[in-house]
Amino acid sequence: MEEVDVEPAVTNIPAAGRGKHLGFAWGPGDILVYETHLKPKEAKGPGSPFIHEVQKDEDIYSPILRKLFNESHHIFVGLQTIRDDLPSKNKKPQFVSVSKNYRSVIRACMEELQQVAVSSQDSQKASQYENQVSILLAIELIWNLCEVLFIDAAPAGSLLLHLLDWVRLHKTDDDVKMRDVLQSESPAAHHSYWDVVVSYVLQGRLEETRQMLVKQANLQPAAKKMYRLMDTLLSKMPFYNPSGNQTLTEFDVKWRHWHEEIDRCLQDNSFASNQHLETICKILSGDVDTILEHKNLLSSWYHFLVTRLLYLHPTVKPTELHFYAQTSLSMFLETSVTEPLDSILLAAFEFDIHQVIKDCSIALSNWWFVAHLTDLLDHCNLLTSHNLHFGSNLREFLLLEYASGLFTHHSLWQLAVDYFDHCPEFGRVYLELQIERVPLDTERKALKVLRICEQRQMSEQVRSICKIMAMRALRNNRLGSALSWSIRAKDAAFATLISERFLQDYCTKGTFSDLDLIDNLGPAMLLSDRLTFLGKYREFHKLYGEKRFADAAKLLLSLMTAKIAPRSFWMTLLTDALPLLEQKEVIFSANQTYELMYCLEELTSSLNKTVPSPDQPMQDDEIEVTKVELLRLALARNLAMAIVKEGTVEA
């Protein structure tokens, strides 16, 4: 494939031109540009104080085109599920129907755009809409032709019928004219009457032609015979019927016979007295010069092509189209300058699919069309594989581009996920790179993003999102949320840190926040030692609250002996033991009391080793000393009671 050299598009930035530099920064959907001087040594004097946000094409921000993206997404996903193992014969009707679905979405979108364009008060907006409509019209025109030629791949005979439909579908101005004519008081006298009739003939709409001619014939009784002859000729023109049992050769013979009849009429000068009928007859005979005299009615070279085929080569084969298309183009256009649309259609007639796709990507401002069309053609096995340097193909390249564009949109990014899913080579990496950039504005949105990542086992992204959310919650002092996010992230270090915060909070306030969460940690508790302690410690409080003192006491002790509790927290735990020791009935057994005493001594001995810092206020120390003494007293008393009680029971 040849590379078409296209000049890069220039975007003007309201900044000083020469002599200054433009700095820039990539954003997710835009690029920030600012005036600066990048040569550090010469950097002097203030530049323009503005930063300009340069955006990509605004198509995705159009609410109407958004519908196009949404609905085509459904069709795309449906297409991907068409099973590969079906024989291709059975799949063809499905592909054709998918293609028609895409086109109907384009049409619906076009109609809506046209309506808003007309009702828009803002002329700039209106012309923008109209511009979009004209692009969609062209897209649909190209798509339709691709459907006929590539997807439906009609053989000789049916091919012309399809092309006729294609031309009729896209040539709607005749119908407007026709309505004007028919609605006038005397249609036959209307100044556009003959234009309409000839247009019908050019499009092969012979039934309508006959109906129109009847009106004229009624006004001219003298010429009735001539009109009747024309009517017979028109009614006799054979059309190939692909569903009938007529062979193409039979049709060809019949058609030639009819053609000879037309030629005979011309030689006889049957219509010489009526220039209009003469013209029609000449068109029917396939007289190219006569057809070309009606360029304004044909309005395009490809209409001319189809008319020419209709009256000269109705059994044209797909392989011959190329020749007729090119000659029609040069016969129709005086200038050799072709517009992008011309070359795209010509490439289609040449069956050069890659050229069609390529020219479209260059000419269109949006990847929507090329991505979807290429995907469909690829499903039809019509694309020879052009491998990328790293193994991807054209289909994937275009889908990735399209989906990446969607990802910059605040809601359309969700559609893009499915497109990435259906790109086997790079879809996943692209999704990973894009999805972690989706702003996590709310917990709800974070959960949505998370679900997408979890469904695809994107563990690193899952971890990162949870970590970001945990960090944010922690910064805002929402400890519960921070803890549940870090449990989700399986981030032990962070869970430890947050557990510490919880315990600190408890030490200062005497109550726990987020009880629901801590009470229902379950196995998640095992994520970190500190979290385990937090959970267990809270369990102690619950037992205590439920007056299950024996269980509470046992748990409390085990927190220290099993080294689950951090040493720094032991004093708090021992203080918690105090009310249990002070109960009338014995809760801690003698053995348990010994263990408590051991814990206290271990703690105080290690405390004594550290030299009290001079700036620590004496008061704190005194409180500590009193606390220890109180504990010792309570422990001793409890031990005494326990020994007495245990001795009594044993005896």
Helices (H), 510-548: 515-519, 529-545
Q: Closer to other proteins at the Cβ: 338 or 558?
A: 338
Q: Closer to other proteins at the Cβ: 394 or 586?
A: 394
Please state whether 19 falls in left (phi above 0), alpha (psi between -120 and 50) or beta.
Answer: left
CB of 107 to other proteins, least distance (A): 6
CB of 415 to other proteins, least distance (A): 15
The span from the CA of 139 to the CA of 364, in Å, is: 9
Q: Closer to other proteins at the Cβ: 389 or 547?
A: 389
CB of 233 to other proteins, least distance (A): 21
Angle subtended at Cα 439 by Cα 436 and Cα 443, rounded to the nearest 5 degrees: 100
CB of 393 to other proteins, least distance (A): 7
Return the residue of 66, 92, 120, 137 that touches other proteins, per CB under 8 A.
Answer: 137
Q: Is residue 277 within 8 Å of 212, Cβ to Cβ?
A: no
Taking CB under 8 A as the rule, which mask of x and - marks residues 402-431 in contact with other proteins? Answer: --xx--------------------x-xxx-
Q: Closer to other proteins at the Cβ: 205 or 541?
A: 205
Return the residue of 187, 318, 340, 480 that touches other proteins, per CB under 8 A.
Answer: 340
The span from the CA of 490 to the CA of 495, in Å, is: 8
Q: Does 47 bind other proteins (CB under 8 A)?
A: yes
Which of helix, strand or coil describes residue 512? coil
The one segment of 172-180, 218-226, 268-276, 525-533 that binds other proteins by CB under 8 A = 172-180
The one segment of 84-92, 157-165, 280-288, 599-607 that binds other proteins by CB under 8 A = 157-165
Q: Does 111 bind other proteins (CB under 8 A)?
A: yes
Q: Does 103 bind other proteins (CB under 8 A)?
A: yes
Q: Is residue 20 within 8 Å of 44, Cβ to Cβ?
A: no
Of 363-392, binders to other proteins (CB under 8 A) are 363-367, 386, 388-390, 392
Return the residue of 101, 120, 192, 414 that touches other proteins, per CB under 8 A.
Answer: 101
The span from the CA of 49 to the CA of 561, in Å, is: 66
* CB count in 10 Å sphere of residue 413: 21
Helices (H), 81-192: 88-119, 123-146, 158-170, 173-183
Q: Does 614 bind other proteins (CB under 8 A)?
A: no
Size of the site for other proteins (CB under 8 A): 154
Residue with tokens 């937090």: 534
Torsion, CA 632, CA 634, CA 635, CA 636, rounded to 10: 80
CB of 407 to other proteins, least distance (A): 9
Among 355, 345, 422, 407, smallest CA distance to 383 is for: 355
The span from the CA of 605 to the CA of 602, in Å, is: 5
Q: Does 352 bind other proteins (CB under 8 A)?
A: no
The one segment of 3-11, 81-89, 530-538, 642-650 that binds other proteins by CB under 8 A = 3-11
Please state whether 269 falls in left (phi above 0), alpha (psi between -120 and 50) or beta.
Answer: left
Taking CB under 8 A as the rule, which mask of x and - marks residues 48-77 in contact with other proteins? Answer: xxxxxxxxxxxx-----------x--x---
Return the residue of 82, 86, 169, 272 that touches other proteins, per CB under 8 A.
Answer: 169
Return the residue of 172, 336, 384, 608 that touches other proteins, per CB under 8 A.
Answer: 172
CB of 557 to other proteins, least distance (A): 32
Q: Does 89 bind other proteins (CB under 8 A)?
A: no
The span from the CA of 639 to the CA of 581, in Å, is: 9
Of 496-515, binders to other proteins (CB under 8 A) are 497
Return the residue of 64, 65, 79, 133 that touches other proteins, per CB under 8 A.
Answer: 133
CB of 518 to other proteins, least distance (A): 21
Please state whether 432 falls in left (phi above 0), alpha (psi between -120 and 50) or beta.
Answer: alpha
Q: Does 330 bind other proteins (CB under 8 A)?
A: no
The span from the CA of 441 to the CA of 365, in Å, is: 30
State the amino acid at position 220 in one-letter form: Q
Q: Is residue 204 within 8 Å of 310, Cβ to Cβ?
A: yes
Return the residue of 423, 440, 482, 631 that touches other proteins, per CB under 8 A.
Answer: 440
Q: Does 39 bind other proteins (CB under 8 A)?
A: yes
Q: Does 9 bind other proteins (CB under 8 A)?
A: yes
Of 457-496, binders to other proteins (CB under 8 A) are 460, 464, 467-468, 471-472, 475-477
**Sheet strands (E) in 319-398:** none
Of 18-37, binders to other proteins (CB under 8 A) are 18-37
The residues near 475 (Cβ < 8 Å, ≥ 6 apart) are: none
Q: Does 8 bind other proteins (CB under 8 A)?
A: yes
State the amino acid at position 346 in one-letter form: L
CB of 225 to other proteins, least distance (A): 31
The one segment of 111-119, 450-458, 595-603, 627-635 that binds other proteins by CB under 8 A = 111-119
Q: Closer to other proteins at the Cβ: 446 or 642?
A: 446
Q: Does 362 bind other proteins (CB under 8 A)?
A: yes
CB of 517 to other proteins, least distance (A): 21
* CB count in 10 Å sphere of residue 506: 18
CB of 276 to other proteins, least distance (A): 19
Q: Is residue 514 within 8 Å of 505, Cβ to Cβ?
A: no
The one segment of 80-88, 165-173, 213-221, 546-554 that binds other proteins by CB under 8 A = 165-173
| Contacts within 8 Å (CB) and 24+ apart, 71-79 | 71/105, 71/108, 72/102, 72/105, 72/368, 72/372, 73/415, 73/418, 73/419, 75/101, 75/102, 75/105, 75/372, 76/372, 76/375, 76/418, 76/419, 76/422, 77/418, 79/375, 79/376, 79/379
Return the residue of 62, 285, 355, 434 that touches other proteins, per CB under 8 A.
Answer: 434
Q: Closer to other proteins at the Cβ: 398 or 553?
A: 398
Tokens, residue 578 = 């105090």
Of 256-315, binders to other proteins (CB under 8 A) are 295-296, 299-301, 303
Torsion, CA 460, CA 466, CA 467, CA 473, rounded to 10: 170
Taking CB under 8 A as the rule, which mask of x and - marks residues 550-569 in contact with other proteins? Answer: --------------------
Q: Are strands 21-26 and 30-36 parallel, antiparallel or unpaired?
A: antiparallel
